[in-house]
Amino acid sequence: MDDQVNTDSEKRKASSTRSSKRKKYEEVLSNLSQQVDQIQSFLFQKFPSEPAPSTNQNDNEEDILSIDLDANDLFSDFSSEITQNESVPVPKDFSLSFSTLTKEPSVPKTSPEHVIKLKDLQRFETDNWSDVRYAEVQKNYCFTPGYVDLESNDEIKPYDNFPHLSHTERGFAAITMGLIKQNTALEKGFRSLFAWIGENEVIEMKGIKDKVSEIFSEGEYSKISSDILQMTCGHRADLIQQRRDAVLKSVKNTFLKDSLRKIPPTCENLFQKQDFSTLLEKNGGVNKTFWPSRNERDSRSKKPNAFENSNQSSSKQAMPAQGFQHYNALPHTTMIIFNDVNDYFIRNYIYFLLCCV
């Protein structure tokens, strides 16, 4: 009796165990079915040409297991669609450009604005171009030591005979001091502007403009900049004047020289080109107006004259062409030129030998 009771209890336990395992198995299959349905829904949204799958969660086990999930087919279709959608036609006008460069001029072309500014500063093409001076302004920027022309050592003072170089050096020294002062004034102006901005909480654009104009257009910076331009333009006007005077020294006629001096320089030439050429043509051209230049005189002096050519030819003919045995043919008409006393005795000795032959 007890054995029968034990057998029944074991059967009930086994039946309950099988039923619980089956429930777990069904739950697993249900979860897998839901996941597969979600994957299919996602894929058919991406590929709408395929028919929509069934979303019934009560499909049997055979329907669930019959779903085709071949990864190779899936990704091959996916990659072909991407290639088809994202393909872009190659433009026909695509090319790799190349070119060559031309030689740039050694001196670039000046912009029209800068030419106009230079004419205004140097007073070119006007009668008062030579009135741009620098001496008075330069006095304010010459300091010793260093910012003047350097003095010669006592031992070499007799050899330092180039005052024009000292004059030019003094000008560059003053300009150097001017540039240093300009930089200092610029720094001081920016510090003043920054301090003013820090002191005011609310700043308007008009206030900034007025402050910048006060510091840089009306202050020390503007004055120093104008002084530097005065010195550089004044020195250039002086050099242009020296070059013009050196050229006009070769003019023969004094009155014509004064007329040429009145022609002002331009941004391109020492003398205004049209007026200068017209005045020379009226007076017979360059050869009649100017004395020959040094180069022309040197070239003429190097050419041998007719007298020198005759002397060279006679000296070459003094030596007999057929040897000393024929020298006695003309003993009194042929002569050899000797330079010193020894040559004189040699000549007589040779003459004596020839007479004895």
- Exposure on the CB side of residue 8, measured as CA atoms within 13 A: 5
Distance CA 291, CA 287 (A): 7
pLDDT score at 259: 93
User: Per-residue pLDDT tens for 57-67?
Assistant: 444 444 444 44
Instruction: Look at the block and give the residue holding tokens 């007719």.
Output: 306
Distance CA 348, CA 340 (A): 13
Q: Cα torsion at 175, 177, 183, 188 (round to 10°)?
A: -130
Instruction: Look at the block and give the residue holding tokens 């010459």.
Output: 142
CB atoms under 10 Å from CB of 172, counted, come to: 13
Which one, of 82, 61, 31, 34, lies nearest residue 42 by Cα?
Answer: 34
| pLDDT values of the chain reduced to their tens digit, one per residue, 357 residues | 545 545 556 656 656 666 776 777 777 777 778 877 777 777 777 666 544 444 454 444 444 444 444 545 544 554 555 455 556 676 777 778 888 988 888 889 999 999 999 999 999 999 999 999 999 999 999 999 999 999 999 999 999 989 889 999 999 999 999 999 999 999 999 999 999 988 888 888 888 899 999 999 988 999 999 999 999 999 999 999 999 999 999 998 889 999 999 999 999 999 999 999 999 999 988 989 899 887 776 676 666 554 455 555 444 444 444 444 444 444 444 444 444 445 555 666 565 555 554
Within 8 A by CB and 6+ apart from 61, the residues are 29
Cα of 207 vs its chain's centroid, Å: 39
| Max CA distance (Å), the chain | 188
CB atoms under 10 Å from CB of 143, counted, come to: 11
Cα of 342 vs its chain's centroid, Å: 72
The residue type at 40 = Q
Within 8 A by CB and 6+ apart from 173, the residues are 142, 146, 147, 148, 149
Instruction: State the SS3 of 173-225.
Output: HHHHHHHHHHHHHHHHHHHHHHHHHHHCCCCCHHHHHHHHHHHHHCCHHHHHH
Residue 80 structure tokens: 């072909």
Within 8 A by CB and 6+ apart from 227, the residues are 137, 140, 141, 178
